[in-house]
Structure 1
Amino acid sequence: MWPTRAPGTSSSTASSMPSPARSTGTTTTLPRMRRPGAGPSGVSTVTALVGTSLSAWAASSTLMRVAARRKCSAVVCLSRSETSASCTSGWSTMWTDTPSLYIGGWGPGAGDQPSETLSPRSSRPPHIRERWLSRSVKYNSPRMKRFYALLMFIAAPVAVVSVQPARRAVALVVVGGTVITENAARAILSPGAVAIDGIDIVEVGTPDAIAAKYQPAETLDAGDQIVLPGLINTHTHAPMVMYRGLADDLALMEWLQNYIFPAEAKTVSPEFVRTGTRLAALEMIESGTTTYADMYYFEEEIARATREAGLRGVLGQTVIQFPVADAKTPAEALARAERFINAFKDDTLIVPAVAPHALYTNDKPTLLACAELGRRHDVPVIIHLAETEDEVRIAREQYRMTPTAYLESIGFWGPRTLAAHGVWVNDDDIQILKRRRIGVSHNPESNMKLASGTAPVTKYLTAGIALGLGTDGAASNNDLDMFEAMRQASFLAKHASHDPTALPARAALDLATIGGARAMGMERLIGSLEAGKRADLITVAMRATRQTPSYDPTSHLVYVTRGDDVRTTIVNGRILMKDRQVRTLDRAVVIADANRLAARVRDAVAVAR
């Protein structure tokens, strides 16, 4: 029989050793192992690593089965004799028809070292016992040391992998490149990664951190590109791309009264609006705009086309005093606006709004009715404000106040109002806008082209006004490229103030992202790359000659990048464009439809050259 304890070990020592494994039904409880290194030559470390992995090498499962069956510590001894197993409360062994090896363990009665005279059971024939003893491999022999090293190499990674948590499945991970978050800390990660699931951003972090936590259904490699929040255009008139180049080099009032209003009277229809919006949406997707604020006619057609394209829109149904294409009276326009609000108030991409055109195109009752409609439905109110010096002059002549002060005096301003332009304002006006929490859209290109004036951008920012950036309509710009708008905004601020530090690149980028979101009251949803916000983002290539070399990614985005450098556009977690290929609109069809409509516009309008 096997000895009950190793030679040289007292019974008192044996009684202090861990108790053998106990079998309880289908559950086997193994004795508590010694701390790593306590057993002979690291045997306990090997045994612990193998035992802790449920999917470890076959030796692990065999070891545990023998230990459970024999109620003892796990020890393996392999020889070339017939298969048998024997176990007592001391050293335990297992026999197989494989080359002999020996893995020691311990149990009650076992000492710190195994017995060198340990032998098979006494009933084994002497010649078998002698052959086994002559071929057995001692635990501290060179062969066994090599075996321990091999087993550690195999078992340790398995044990580690077995306890790693499962990665969360997500729809998309954008990985690589430089991630400009526009969060509160204005963090920039290079390289970075963005995990997206459904319509939301799940996490922004380093590629290794994201890869360790998430298993994406699709991976988008941003490579050497810049990843940033989708751009936000806080003021435009989308269908007016159909008037691009129709009448240029004119002052605003002449441009409006002699060309645009007459052209709209002859050409605006649901088809015109739908075709123009699809063309504008294509341009915005291709140039990185993911959200835009609009005011025009037949706004329900704009909403449908915007949703088809996959863009996000704050869309205002225009209310104006005189007859227009979709309403003959202000009352009819207000009724249309309310129907529009009710139709789209629960849409995931469309935020409906009411849009009184301007102070000079609406009387007091109409203005107040628009404000009341916005408050009743809790939707934005969009209005042109103090765009030209003529507008200020008219207000002073009629009301002896600035446009801003007059609207304050009649109770027009509400917290969800977005004022476009705000060029001709004084310090008192700015305080009114601040107190009423009005968002302002700065439109530098349109203001410069129409010679309308220069908005006091620095004063707005110093006062804490929520300031965004817009392109205005393509008829007065003449494009919808927000990168160009950023560049011109920065240059104009420096030129007007004679201060080269005015509106630096970082501030200009803010206007086109998180600043625009604040101006529209949407900063909790969009404007930055943060967990919990909508997955609206773009990737921008930095390979052009004009972008080389690159020292500061923000500087390059504002001062040298163009809309056609955008490679990918994502809105609400949906890829609208990848590698410059728009997925939601047929580019050839959209352009062909626009050209056919342009031929009719040309025939209907006498174009001044």
Structure 2
Amino acid sequence: MPEAVILAPQWIAPVAPDPRVLTGHAVLVEDGRIAELAPFDGLRERHPDVPLTLLPGQLLVPGFVNLHTHAAMSLLRGVADDLPLHDWLRKRIWPLEGKLVSRAFVRDGALLAAHEMLMGGTTCFNDMYFFPEEAVAAARQLGMRSMQGIIVIEFPSAYASDAGDYLRKGLELRDRHRDDPMVGFCLAPHAPYTVSDETLKRVAVLARELGLPIHTHVHETAAEIEESQSRHGKRPLQRLDALGLLGPELIAVHAVHLDDNDLRLLATAGASVAHCPHSNLKLASGIAPVARMIESGIRVGIGTDGSASNNRLDLLQEARTAALLAKGSSGQADAWPAARVLRALTLDAAAALGLDDRIGSIEAGKRADLVAVDLSAPELSPVFDPVSQLVYAAGREHVQHVWIDGRHVVRKRQLTDDVASEAVSELVGRTALWHNRTGEILSG
């Protein structure tokens, strides 16, 4: 286990139980958990022999939780830009994946993504992709926490032959990691338009039996809803509800096009939404009605989606855009205040994944997933409200330190583990090879 340490930043934003920013406080980390959050003087007096890390000018916050991504798609960053979702997916992404996806592709892509996320303060990510065992390995190599999607889709891939095979392989992987505290699992049917009624019913039963979240794309585009009404006589959320998938375990990814009934369904079910604003904007899918979701009592977390539809796995940038879109689309400047946005990045996303008893806030007893952001840079001065400065002005380049499960994994913007650092360095060369191979496929 990591050694005990006292972290003494200029500000602490614990998120819960009280969202107010603390000054003159410090955090005692012991055995990978937050042992105390208390005034600095008293804490130091009680623990005079514990090493002290001073963090002047820095804001300590819970680690960010990326509620939706496809990590391995970092190797497809930029290959399908400026296309609408239908063409992006069917004419470019799926054909490329059919020729590229393998264990090696996912291993390299997931490691590339994990490093990018980690350096931006993401300590846990919720993934959905093929060969999830390789994403597990990438996250573990960098010391990150992850939730892996047991992906389900009807068509074959290099990973599995049919829906039953996807489920079998994913559940076997879950069994192998049952005792790993750094790895969790979601059932991840890709989307209502790629998964049959029979398979969705099976997913609903498994979710109840195993106590797993359900992570799926839904209501991303207007065309998806029209297609569902034509094929099934129901909007996608109505169909999921009829098949037993709409409950507190559901994480509805995107949820861009919601009418009043959709909002009622999500709110009544206690479901969560993974809001991915940059992906929705870049694919011209629309702007999710986040202000109305919040008014309806729907829990909203924030995700980046994958690099192929976003190009940047940067939760701080995502949070700023999310906050501004909520204000601009609703006409309400207070639609999503900075403190609530920070909660969406941390505790609300953790709660959607069933992890809020372990991470998401700086409270005694929780695991020490923490991020220190330097607000002393000239471009961030002066600081009237540290949380507002974090959401509206800071960027991932201001993340200085990251602790996960009490381990100091990023120190002054450098990986602390030499093996992990070497692995990332070696990855740069392999990324060039994947680039060349992808270019050959596109040109051929």
Return the TM-score normalized by structure 1.
Answer: 0.70
Deviates more, 1:530-539 or 1:303-312: 303-312
Shift of 1:197: 0.7
Partner of 2:71: 238
The one of 428, 436, 439 equivalent to 2:261 is: 428
Partner of 1:75: none
Aligned to 2:284, the other structure's residue is in SS state coil
Partner of 1:549: 382
Shift of 1:452: 0.6
Q: After superposition, where does 1:183-582 map in structure 2 within 5 Å? A: 183-215=16-48, 217-582=50-415
Residue 600 (1) aligns with residue 398 (2): no
Could you tell me which amino acid in structure 1 is paired with residue 292 of structure 2? K
Q: 1:529 and 1:186, CA in 2 relative to 1: closer, same or farther beyond 3 A?
A: same
Could you tell me which amino acid in structure 2 is paired with residue 580 of structure 1? R
Distance 2:398 2:437 in 1: 35
Shift of 1:282: 1.0
| Contact 1:170/1:197 (8 A) holds in 2 | yes
| Contact 2:272/2:299 (8 A) holds in 1 | yes
Larger Rg: 1
Distance 2:43 2:115 in 1: 32
Distance 1:224 1:196 in 2: 20
| Contact 2:200/2:243 (8 A) holds in 1 | no
Partner of 1:172: 5
Residues 302-331 of structure 1 show CA distances to partners (whole Å, capped at 9, x for unaligned) of 112211211111110211111112012111
| Contact 1:267/1:601 (8 A) holds in 2 | no
Give the total of aligned pairs: 440
Could you tell me which amino acid in structure 1 is paired with residue 252 of structure 2? A
Deviates more, 1:506-515 or 1:466-475: 506-515
Shift of 1:218: 3.0
| Contact 1:177/1:222 (8 A) holds in 2 | yes
Distance 1:551 1:187 in 2: 13
User: What runs of 5+ residues in structure 2 fail to find an aligned partner?
Assistant: none
Distance 1:258 1:481 in 2: 27
Distance 1:189 1:561 in 2: 19
Could you tell me which amino acid in structure 2 is paired with residue 355 of structure 1? A
Aligned to 1:296, the other structure's residue is in SS state coil
Partner of 2:424: 590
Could you tell me which amino acid in structure 2 is paired with residue 411 of structure 1? G
Residues 166-201 of structure 1 show CA distances to partners (whole Å, capped at 9, x for unaligned) of xxx971110131011101221321132101111210
Could you tell me which amino acid in structure 2 is paired with residue 469 of structure 1? I
| Contact 1:170/1:195 (8 A) holds in 2 | no
Residues 138-174 of structure 1 show CA distances to partners (whole Å, capped at 9, x for unaligned) of xxxxxxxxxxxxxxxxxxxxxxxxxxxxxxx971110
| Contact 1:338/1:373 (8 A) holds in 2 | no
Shift of 1:601: 4.3
Q: 1:386 and 1:216, CA in 2 relative to 1: closer, same or farther beyond 3 A?
A: farther
Residues 438-487 of structure 1 show CA distances to partners (whole Å, capped at 9, x for unaligned) of 12111111111111111111111112112101111111111111110110
Shift of 1:216: 5.3
User: What runs of 5+ residues in structure 1 fail to find an aligned partner?
Assistant: 1-168
Distance 1:412 1:541 in 2: 42
Partner of 1:96: none
Q: 1:414 and 1:594, CA in 2 relative to 1: closer, same or farther beyond 3 A?
A: farther
Return the TM-score normalized by structure 2.
Answer: 0.95
Could you tell me which amino acid in structure 2 is paired with residue 602 of structure 1? N
Aligned to 1:325, the other structure's residue is in SS state coil
Please give the root-mean-square deviation of Cα atoms over the aligned residues, in Å.
1.7
Shift of 1:374: 2.4
